[in-house]
Amino acid sequence: MSVAPVRHSFFDRNGLLMLVAGVCVVNGVFSPFLVVAVQITPVLMPEMFPRTVGWVLFFSSVVVSTATLLLSGVPAALYERLFETDANSTVSMWVWLAGATLMSLAAFENVHAML
């Protein structure tokens, strides 16, 4: 007996998670909400990092990316908890990607303006 090889698609759960992470990173770099995050970030930064402009911008980008990842995952988690019955279904991942994309629309406009 031979076992058929498992075919992986880019649009399985792992591939969609990478897409969600990529959208969140783009939002963290190009978001217009960086102005707000830059004001908050020096308070949240660890003491081992200097309070230079470069470090503050880096941590502000990380804060916005992380907030996008977490907040866009709430509707996906609710959907998965309330409606999804199949553990291998990718519907909740598509909901997560849609939420992250909607939160990143302003960042995508900034990217488009730069091109």
d(CA 26, CA 29): 5
- pLDDT of res. 29: 96
pLDDT tens profile 52-110: 999 999 999 999 999 999 999 999 999 999 998 888 888 999 999 999 999 999 999 99
- pLDDT of res. 51: 87
| Domain boundaries along the sequence of the chain | 51-115
pLDDT tens profile 11-38: 888 899 999 999 999 999 999 999 999 9
Average pLDDT over residues 48-55: 90
d(CA 1, CA 94): 36
